[in-house]
Amino acid sequence: MAVGEYPFPVMPPVEGVSIGIAAAGIKKADRNDVLLFSLCEGASVAGVFTQNTFCAAPIKICREHLQLARPRLLVVNSGNANACTGSSGRANALSVCDQVASQYGLSAAEVLPFSTGVIGEPLPVGKINAVVPALVQSAQEDNWQLAARAIMTTDTRPKGATRQIEIDGTTVTVNGIAKGAGMINPNMATMLGFIATDVAIDQTVLQGLVREAAGLSFNRITIDGDTSTNDACMVMASGKAGNKLIADPHSDSYAALKAAVNEVCIELAQMIVADGEGATKFVTIDVKGGASHDECLKVAYAVAHSPLIKTALFASDPNWGRIVAAIGYAGVENLDDTLVRVHLNDVLIVENGGRAESYTEEQGQKVMSGERIGIHIDLGRGDCSERLWTTDLSYEYVRINADYRT
Amino acid sequence: MAVGEYPFPVMPPVEGVSIGIAAAGIKKADRNDVLLFSLCEGASVAGVFTQNTFCAAPIKICREHLQLARPRLLVVNSGNANACTGSSGRANALSVCDQVASQYGLSAAEVLPFSTGVIGEPLPVGKINAVVPALVQSAQEDNWQLAARAIMTTDTRPKGATRQIEIDGTTVTVNGIAKGAGMINPNMATMLGFIATDVAIDQTVLQGLVREAAGLSFNRITIDGDTSTNDACMVMASGKAGNKLIADPHSDSYAALKAAVNEVCIELAQMIVADGEGATKFVTIDVKGGASHDECLKVAYAVAHSPLIKTALFASDPNWGRIVAAIGYAGVENLDDTLVRVHLNDVLIVENGGRAESYTEEQGQKVMSGERIGIHIDLGRGDCSERLWTTDLSYEYVRINADYRT
């Protein structure tokens, strides 16, 4: 199950970023499950990573390698997360880095490793290393759709988004792919996102850009409240577009690039929600009128994480009592319940501490029967607002997660 | 579905506490759905209430009436929560108070009202007031099982627990009934708990006792993380047992009473979990080795609320990777993942940042296939510990909550 249609877009090549693909048989035979991004010399790479204490070995290595060298290769496998695998997990991830680095005459520190899949199983390092030559041979700049498919786990469809903009009179391309369907919660989702652009940009400036873009997109989606051990969002910039190097985050060039990257990231984040495990609804939660951004987020997450609201969404039941209950327990201090207003799409359902007089069950039912539902909450006590996206909770979610390892 | 067998115990009468029962047809015809506790003069009553901002009208009235007078009557209905019902909800609850008070020549302030059921629907006050004479006529001291049945909503079985102890050479009885099966989360669960004892105890001392008992029982269970608008746990003490008035919380009498009340409350709380909506497993989560109680609770709740862990429990799948992921994102600062140890019952599954060398899938499978599962987590950084109880997440949970209003 998944909400809506998201046909994979036509993605132009990004000069200076080639992509190799191979089938290592990590979890299933004859399925592409390893991916190698190879970057031209001089490329900038920046990223944000999971906040989970039990982060996977490859995440720890990424953080270290980014301190040591400018990355030239990003190697990604699906089917195994190499998380909670202790010291052998680290050795395995480093072995893969070594293997791909040697093919290009680079050092292991110039390689960033990524893994996604089941936690706690040893990485089948022999299988991965065996396909490294195939990764190198298959490398092409227009392998984006194959790449998006190779990183899927419980995803039902590949996720890609693309934009082209003009900077300094030259065309700049921003491509992105992502995977993720469950264990989705901010900081970060169980997701991998790889954004590539041919823009020329300073590495430090790029780091600020990816942090902001992730904050507006991947960190604003939630499916089940679980935060993965393996999440990462990387932005690679080859510098081949021919624009003047972007070194000032207050420049027009930066603003134009940022807008394009944000759009790509938000589009990918929404695709992850729409493909949420067992999702039958795509839900936008807006909270405004807050005294702080923090309290807006508290309310938004309380609503987004409530299993009672999520099952009511699944049932297309306008059970607004569960929404106000969640607002009430979100932990906003001294909230005046008589000032809170709640709309379902454009239908006012709650005001003055109870059901709106104008509201009819028929109106609520009409909104809830749709596939896209907006829950708009006004706390009536300030000027801050926040938005996030989530899904319902269906039988299918339980089935997928009860069956995942079997 | 429900875990285990909990036959309703034989509950002796509590002198000075009589219980009237009636069928008002609030949600279903011919089902007892209103309950009246009538207390002898001089009884003490204390309670704890939901922390939800959108608390129901009856909860607000309870808090006010407890400031004004010593309660003599507690009137309870199931089938309608009278929550999020604005000013008419308040008027309706007060009307019921008036009606029962007038039957006994008391003032409305001597009545505490309680409601549980669907949120946001007007309380059918006419139906309730019509059965007030029947409540009075049916009042008896041994109506405990009928009372436990009358307050059920999605509960599959009535919940009662009882203890008798000796204080000052006289026998003291502690009876308790509770309802609750979903929307269960601390502070408080969607639950009502009514404890009655014939002990003689000072009202202020009783208030301290109920707060502590609720903290160890009803505030340590979670089914879905949702906190209701209507929860309350009340303790009524008639003073008829003939013991010397308990006025010192450091006395032996107080300690003996406290132990009995705690046992009754914990037993009721565990019954609520075992009857959790769609529950097929009863799960005890112990976190020890914490630097603070707060961080132990954070970890315990992260594990208890994770839909991924809950679905794995439902599937009897020892997917320990999801447990360590939840520990990792619980928000414990500077947690050293290599010091964390996790047992499933007595099977060591995680140490040194990964799967324990001694662990076999067979061992884990054996634990998970049972109906009662312990998840024991040692954070390895201090002396604090916390315990709570929860359930799995099943198809049946989704079905119950997707169908509740229809």
Which of B229, B308, B326 is nearest residue A325 as measured by Cβ atoms?
B229
pLDDT one-digit tens code per residue, B231-274: 889 999 999 999 999 999 999 999 999 999 999 999 999 998 88
The pLDDT value recorded for residue B225 is 59
Provide, as residue numbers in chain A, all residues whose Cβ is less than 8 Å from the Cβ of B227.
325, 328-329
Provide, as residue numbers in chain B, all residues whose Cβ is less than 8 Å from the Cβ of A229.
321, 324-325, 328
Across all residues in chain B, what is the average pLDDT? 91
Contact: B315, A402; criterion CB under 8 Å: yes
CA-based torsion, A41, A43, A44, A50: positive or negative: negative
- By three-state DSSP, how is residue A151 classified? coil
**pLDDT band of A187, cuts 50, 70, 90:** very low
C-alpha A22/C-alpha A76 separation (Å) is 11
Integer angstrom CA distances of residue A48 from B116, B135, B285, B326 = 46, 64, 32, 20
Suggest the residue from A49, A53, A280, A339 to mutate for an interface test with chain B (most B CBs closer than 10 A).
A53
- A327: closest CA of chain B, how far (Å): 8
Suggest the residue from B54, B88, B190, B327 to mutate for an interface test with chain A (most A CBs closer than 10 A).
B54
Closest chain A residue by Cα to residue B354? A84
- Active-site positions of A read 190
Which of B119, B306, B352 is nearest residue A325 as measured by Cβ atoms?
B119
Residues 6 or more apart whose Cβ sits within 8 Å of residue A307? A393, B224, B225, B226, B307, B393, B397, B401
Question: Which regions of chain A carry the CATH code 3.10.20.340?
Answer: 282-403
pLDDT one-digit tens code per residue, A341-373: 999 999 999 999 888 999 998 999 999 999 999
Contact: B355, A322; criterion CB under 8 Å: no
C-alpha B236/C-alpha B203 separation (Å) is 10
Higher pLDDT, A238 or A306: A238
Provide, as residue numbers in chain A, all residues whose Cβ is less than 8 Å from the Cβ of B314.
398, 402
Contact: B53, A335; criterion CB under 8 Å: yes
C-alpha A191/C-alpha A182 separation (Å) is 9
**pLDDT band of A219, cuts 50, 70, 90:** confident
Which of B354, B401, B405 is nearest residue A86 as measured by Cβ atoms?
B354
Question: Which regions of chain A carry the CATH code 3.60.70.12?
Answer: 17-274
Q: Is the pLDDT of residue A183 over 70?
A: no
Provide, as residue numbers in chain B, all residues whose Cβ is less than 8 Å from the Cβ of A314.
398, 402
Q: Is the pLDDT of residue B97 over 50?
A: yes
Set B190, B222, B390, B391: catalytic member: B190
Pick the CATH number of B17-274 from 3.40.1360.10, 3.40.50.2300, 3.60.70.12, 1.20.140.10: 3.60.70.12
The pLDDT value recorded for residue B26 is 95
- Taking the whole predicted model, whether its pTM rises above 0.90 is answered as no
Closest chain B residue by Cα to residue A50? B329
Indicate the helix (H) or strand (E) that contains B22: strand B17-22
Q: How is B59-111 classified by DSSP, letter by letter?
A: HHHHHHHHHHS---EEEEEEEE---SBHHHHHHHHHHHHHHHHHHTT--GGGE
Contact: A311, B51; criterion CB under 8 Å: no
Whether residue B5 contacts residue B157, with contact meaning beta carbons closer than 8 Å, is answered with: no
Integer angstrom CA distances of residue A316 from A10, B121, B274, B297, B403 = 35, 18, 28, 34, 10
Contact: A225, B305; criterion CB under 8 Å: yes
Provide the residue type at B119 as one letter: I
> How many CB atoms are located within 10 Å of the residue A137 CB?
11
Provide the residue type at A186 as one letter: P
Q: Is the pLDDT of residue A185 over 50?
A: no
Output the CATH code of domain B282-403. Answer: 3.10.20.340
Point out which residues pair with A160 in neighbouring strands. A177
Distance between alpha carbon A127 and the CA centroid of its chain, in Å? 27
**How do strand A170-179 and strand A159-167 relate by DSSP bridges?**
antiparallel
C-alpha B371/C-alpha B2 separation (Å) is 10
Contact: B224, A307; criterion CB under 8 Å: yes
ipTM, 2 decimals?
0.72
Provide, as residue numbers in chain B, all residues whose Cβ is less than 8 Å from the Cβ of A54.
324-325, 327-328, 337, 340, 353
**pLDDT band of A123, cuts 50, 70, 90:** very high
pLDDT one-digit tens code per residue, A290-338: 999 999 999 999 999 888 898 889 988 888 888 988 998 888 999 998 9
The pLDDT value recorded for residue B183 is 57
pLDDT one-digit tens code per residue, B157-197: 999 999 999 999 999 999 999 998 665 544 433 689 999 99
Q: Residue A198: which of A242, A141, A262, A147 has the closest Cα?
A: A242
The pLDDT value recorded for residue A143 is 96
Which of B120, B183, B326 is nearest residue A226 as measured by Cβ atoms?
B326
